[in-house]
Structure 1
Amino acid sequence: MESKHVHVRRRDESFAQRSVTKIWEEVASAENPYLTENCRCHGYDLFELVEKRGFADVLYLLFQGELPSAEKSRLFEALMIALINPGPRHPATRAAMCAGVGKTETAQILPVALTVLGGNHLGGAEVEEAMRFLRKESKGDPLRAAMELPASPAREGDWHPVPGFGCRFGGVDPLPRKILQALLKQPGAGRCMHWAWNFSEGLKPRDMGILSTGLAAAVFADLGFQPRVGPGLFQLLNAPGLLAHGAEMANKPLTAMPFIKDEDYVIER
């Protein structure tokens, strides 16, 4: 049997001697250097942030490196409240409920649900693509962009011709539309939010509109977050509702959830 010599090429890379971050500084304890005495987030003392700032401000600081203005802070907090629960119709919430009633370990309920929430359908992956879409298209005419989209096919399900916009259950989802309309009254509302509103209004005659992912994307973009951060932020802001629904079902019997009949399963070929 003939053996073949495989040439192994050494990578010409020099690895860092230690990990470095600009985000977080830990002040070591005088008694034990492996323990932390105090922390600074982008130079801001943690205890001062605890005393003087809200969660939305510090979350913004973590990613942006600076504290938000009063207008951005209020807008971010309003979005956090609006997205706190995706609702029991959302696939991620259903996953949390099924995990809870199925007696999944409590610590795993949220990770199970967040895995679903990270997907392309009404999830974090769609938020990232919607942010890229808005950042690119918001320089143009939203009504013209809406008119150039193909009409929604005759169906009862969901259809998203562009990330963050489309139909749910064959129609316009009213809740994200109402939330965006309310958030547009905030002084911190910017170009992407206004463009998203006009674009969604142009889609209404075709039974389409803005989705929760498009709503989050528009606000994230106006707040200055990068698209790659969008999926995780979306998961984070929706996480409380997912956990609440999963925990609610954890002490209930398996029969508390419906069991789908065989005839209700549809396999598309």
Structure 2
Amino acid sequence: MSGKEKKPNEETTGRARGEEWWQTSIIEMMPGVIRLRGYEIQDLIGRVSFPAMIWLMLRGELPTDEQADLLGIALGAAVDHGPQAPSIAIARMAATCGVGINSAMASAINVLGDVHGGAGEQALAFYGDIAAAMDEGATLTDAVTTRLNRFFAEESGYVPGFGHRFHPVDPRAPRLLEVTRDFAARGVIGGRFATIAEAIEAEITRRKGKRIPLNIDGATAVIYGELGFPPPLTRGLFVLSRSVGILAHAWEQTEQGGRNKGPLPREWLWAYAGTPKRKLPDDGG
């Protein structure tokens, strides 16, 4: 039993015990009543945008209009990247297998893990390490240098949030940084994470001798960090965003038809690298 669970007693048995089983501060619901974080649903409908509703559900309070706008911008920027993205391809392939929209979407969402979909969470955690070092007195330059030194000494692969296997410069990232700077200038956010991301990019460029620019994951991580979301929620927000593209592709493929479409046209076969053709040994060995 965890420390948070209450041991059953006279006060938590029967119906009371059942009511405490899924205790939540998110929703209150009974016949004729739905309250989200204390707000009557009928009061929210038509007055609160979808990004604001996401904020309310996750954070417990309504955002300002500007905060909701910035969250919506980040969510809108990452909705799709085409069938070459594994999640989108999986949604389309699943649709040709005769499953429903929900199954096609679930199949796609289930592959949004550490490699495909998790870079935003990793980037925000990376930024957070640098911000924490600055809070302890390090300069921006020293904090970035120290964190990158540790990354290249202890970790492998790409610095999360930088570089793109398809785009020399991810067209979404510069625009998202421009928007972030605009919101910071208006006092909606502080702009700290944008500054950190730009400093990381500059230092990577210096070390590599070529520019490894910020990508969509790094840019949306900047916005989510500016808005105060913790790194794990960054992945969840990406899933919400990419679900829009997943739904669109699953629906388009459903309308186009097709049966059992695999990752390649049937006339294109994979490269076989196994044992050459051979005969089964005789019964006598």
Question: Which residue identity does 2:81 align to in structure 1?
Answer: P
Q: In the superposition, relative to structure 1, how do residues 76 and 48 fare at CA in structure 2: closer, same or farther (>3 Å)?
A: same
Partner SS for 1:97: helix
Q: C-alpha deviations, 1:155-200, integer Å up to 9, x for none?
A: xxxx94222223424x644223233233222243431133213423
Cα contact 1:200–1:210 (8 A) shared by 2: yes
Question: What is residue 116 of structure 2 aligned with on the other side?
Answer: 122
Give the match for residue 270 of structure 2: 262
Instruction: Give the strand-richer structure, 1 or 2.
Output: 1
Quote the offset at 1:99 in angstroms: 1.5
Distance 1:172 1:266 in 2: 33
* 1:80 paired residue number: 75
What does residue range 177-216 of structure 1 map to in structure 2 within 5 Å?
177-184=173-180, 185-186=182-183, 187=186, 188-189=188-189, 190-204=191-205, 205-216=209-220
Letter matched to residue 238 of structure 1: R
Equivalent position amino acid for 2:231 in 1: P
How many percent identity over aligned positions?
24
Residue 56 of structure 1 and its aligned partner are, at CA, apart by 0.8
Are the counterparts in 1 of residues 129 and 147 from structure 2 also a CA contact under 8 Å?
no
Farther-moved stretch of structure 1 (179-188 vs 212-221): 179-188
Task: Please give the alpha-carbon distance, in whole angstroms, between the structure 1 residues aligned to 2:211 and 2:162.
Answer: 11
Gaps spanning 5+ residues in structure 1: where? 1-10, 30-36, 151-158
Q: What letter is aligned with 2:140?
A: D
RMSD: 3.2
Q: Is the 8 A contact 2:26 2:37 kept in 1?
A: yes
Counterpart code for 1:242: I
Which sections of structure 2, spanning at least 5 residues, go unmatched?
150-155, 275-285
Task: Give 1:242-257 correspondences, 5 Å limit.
Answer: 242-250=246-254, 251-254=256-259
**Does residue 135 of the first structure (1) align with residue 128 of the second (2)?**
yes
Residue in structure 2 matching 1:175, options 171, 180, 201: 171
Which of 237, 241, 246 lines up with 2:241 in the alignment?
237
Residue 107 of structure 1 corresponds to: 102
Give 1:141's aligned amino acid. L
User: TM-score normalized by structure 2?
Assistant: 0.71
* CA positional deviation for 1:122: 3.4
Change (3 A) 1:194 1:71: farther
Larger Rg: 2
- 1:21 paired to 2:24: yes
1:46 aligns with 2:51: no
4+ aligned runs moved over 6 Å, structure 1: none
- Cα 1:208–1:24 change in 2 (3 A) is same
- Distance in 2 between the 1:92 and 1:173 partners? 22
**TM-score with structure 1 length normalisation?**
0.75
C-alpha distance in 2, partners of 1:91/1:238? 12
Aligned length: 238
